[in-house]
């Protein structure tokens, strides 16, 4: 790392702030992103990671359901969507949903992650029914469903406020919200990649409303395309602000752009170093988030494992039936067994802990599971 004297002083100041648990500013974040080497970033991030989560590395047993890929929108980065009349288009029936839920039960999943396209012809009741069918089939299964893009679409279709939409969904069985649809909040980039869908103000408003109703949610960033350091850091600072207000976010998940079959296929997939850098910067900037997830499906097992020493404390889960990244060229398997996840975590020198969506310990006895106490080490701080 070739820093001049002033830059070295700036890094020393940031290092002292990290050691003291103080907040890193936007300008300092941009400096770290643009000038500081990956090992230094990793060291800073790892300090915070261990302070918050000790030596634990979390995972969960989950299953994905993307009930339709037909979508009215055309986000440039998306390889998953299909036109209404496309032979690639599909839509789940109630029986198909039940079958997926039965699979969830059989594999011991504690969570189902549900997101999909905004189908031209499906009304709000169809989406509500997806949640209801899941909940009726397996009431213990935690339903983490819909991004603000979908909630905003339901609000548009029904002409009802966000709060009403969320309440209907909660009544049907919704338990939390995933972090998707965030992409890059800054309009300079958002307008290039998904200008038509819910803007960043809407994204934040939906999460604020969800948190006010007692739902927990996640957040993501889609990096490795047109964005620059200032856009990435701006994204993290905006999230930190809402978290100060509501405390409702649980986990932050950096998502590396996969270019294959997208409208941005001229871009190269981000390198492993870039992946680790974004994980580390996220851990350093998001001082009020408990968890940073290295989503192995998208990073690959090797980078995800390494990320456990660069700020991440969670690998997501056993994940079966993932489509969004595999349609965009991800070469990872669609699922890992619990044994494989344990091996990845143990090799990284961490202690594997199975969690539920709300970061409570999962206790297993044979085929049965139950929810134990929260395992958060930062709760002690
Ligand atoms: O919003 C779409 C991203 C997101 C591509 O909350 C792509 O636990 C890379 O949000 N290359 C949906 N990324 C997935 C998501 C998520 C994933 C895992 C865990 C959680 C959680 C949430 O996927 C979209 C978009 O940002 N995405 N296409 C692509 N070609
Ligand atoms: Fe539709 Fe979501 Fe794909 Fe955008 S990212 S085109 S909203 S499925």
Domain boundaries, the chain: 48-374
Give the mean model confidence (pLDDT) for residues 347-365.
Answer: 94
Q: Judge contact between 82 and 71, C-beta under 8 A.
A: yes
Annotated binding site for S-adenosyl-L-methionine: 77, 183
Q: How confident is the model at residue 147 (pLDDT cuts 50, 70, 90)?
A: very high
pLDDT for the residue numbered 381: 38
Query: Is-above-0.85 flag for pTM?
Result: yes
Tens-place pLDDT, residues 33-80: 999 999 999 999 999 999 999 999 999 999 999 999 999 999 999 999
Q: Class of 48-374 per CATH?
A: alpha beta
Tens-place pLDDT, residues 246-268: 999 999 999 999 999 999 999 99
- Determine the distance separating the centroid of ligand 1 and the alpha carbon of 78, expressed in angstroms: 9
Percent of the chain exceeding pLDDT 90 equals 87
Tens-place pLDDT, residues 78-124: 999 999 999 999 999 999 999 999 999 988 899 999 999 999 999 99
Ligand 1 pocket test, pick from 180, 218, 248, 294 with the greatest ligand atom count within 8 Å of Cβ, gives 180
**189 vs 77: CA distance, rounded Å:** 12
Residue 66's Cα: distance from chain center in Å?
Answer: 15
- Among 232, 238, 287, 248, smallest CA distance to 48 is for 287
**244 vs 252: CA distance, rounded Å:** 15
Whether residue 334 has pLDDT greater than 80: no
pLDDT for the residue numbered 380: 36
pLDDT for the residue numbered 329: 75
Task: Return the residue whose CA atom lies nearest to atom 2 of ligand 1.
Answer: 78
Tens-place pLDDT, residues 220-238: 999 999 999 999 999 999 9
Packing angle of the helix pair 229-246, 272-285 (nearest 10 deg): 40
Ligand 2 nearest-atom number relative to CA 69: 8
Is the CB–ligand 1 distance for residue 317 below 6 Å? no
- Determine the distance separating the centroid of ligand 2 and the alpha carbon of 340, expressed in angstroms: 31
| Mean pLDDT over each residue of the chain, to the nearest integer | 94
- Among 342, 361, 359, 356, smallest CA distance to 289 is for 359
Give the mean model confidence (pLDDT) for residues 262-290.
Answer: 97
Residues in the chain: 381
**300 vs 316: CA distance, rounded Å:** 12
pLDDT for the residue numbered 379: 40
Ligand 1 nearest-atom number relative to CA 258: 11
């Amino acid at each position: 790392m070739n820093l001049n004297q002033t830059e070295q002083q700036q890094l020393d100041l940031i290092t002292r702030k990290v050691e003291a648990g103080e907040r890193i500013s936007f300008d300092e974040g941009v400096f770290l992103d643009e000038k500081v080497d990956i090992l230094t970033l990793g060291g800073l991030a790892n300090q915070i990671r261990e302070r918050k989560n000790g030596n634990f590395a979390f995972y969960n047993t989950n299953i994905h359901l993307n009930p339709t890929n037909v979508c009215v929108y055309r986000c440039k980065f998306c390889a998953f969507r299909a036109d209404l009349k496309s032979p690639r288009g599909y839509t789940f029936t109630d029986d198909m949903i039940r079958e997926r839920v039965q699979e969830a039960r059989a594999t011991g999943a504690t969570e189902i992650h549900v997101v999909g396209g905004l189908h031209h012809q499906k009304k709000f009741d169809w989406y509500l029914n997806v949640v209801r069918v899941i909940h009726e089939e397996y009431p213990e299964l935690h339903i983490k469903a819909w991004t603000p893009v979908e909630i905003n679409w339901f609000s548009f279709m029904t002409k009802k406020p966000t709060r009403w939409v969320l309440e209907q969904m909660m009544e049907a069985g919704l338990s939390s919200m995933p972090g998707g649809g965030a992409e890059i909040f800054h309009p300079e980039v958002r307008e290039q990649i998904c200008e038509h869908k819910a803007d960043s103000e809407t994204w934040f408003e939906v999460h604020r409303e969800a948190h006010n109703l007692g739902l927990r949610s996640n957040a993501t960033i889609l990096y490795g395309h047109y964005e620059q350091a200032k856009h990435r850091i701006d994204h993290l600072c905006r999230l930190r602000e809402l978290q100060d207000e509501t405390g409702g976010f649980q986990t932050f998940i950096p998502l590396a752009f996969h270019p294959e079959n997208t409208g941005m296929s001229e871009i190269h997939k981000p390198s492993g170093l870039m992946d680790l850098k974004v994980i580390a910067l996220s851990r350093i900037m998001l001082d009020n988030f408990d968890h940073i997830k290295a989503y192995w499906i998208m990073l690959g097992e090797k980078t995800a494992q390494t990320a456990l020493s660069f700020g991440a404390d969670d690998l997501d889960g056993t994940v079966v039936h993932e489509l969004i990244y595999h349609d965009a060229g991800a070469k990872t398997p669609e699922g890992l067994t619990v044994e494989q996840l344990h091996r990845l975590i143990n090799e990284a020198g961490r202690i594997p802990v199975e969690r539920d969506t709300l970061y409570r310990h999962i206790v297993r006895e044979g085929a049965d599971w139950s929810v134990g106490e929260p395992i958060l080490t930062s709760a002690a701080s």
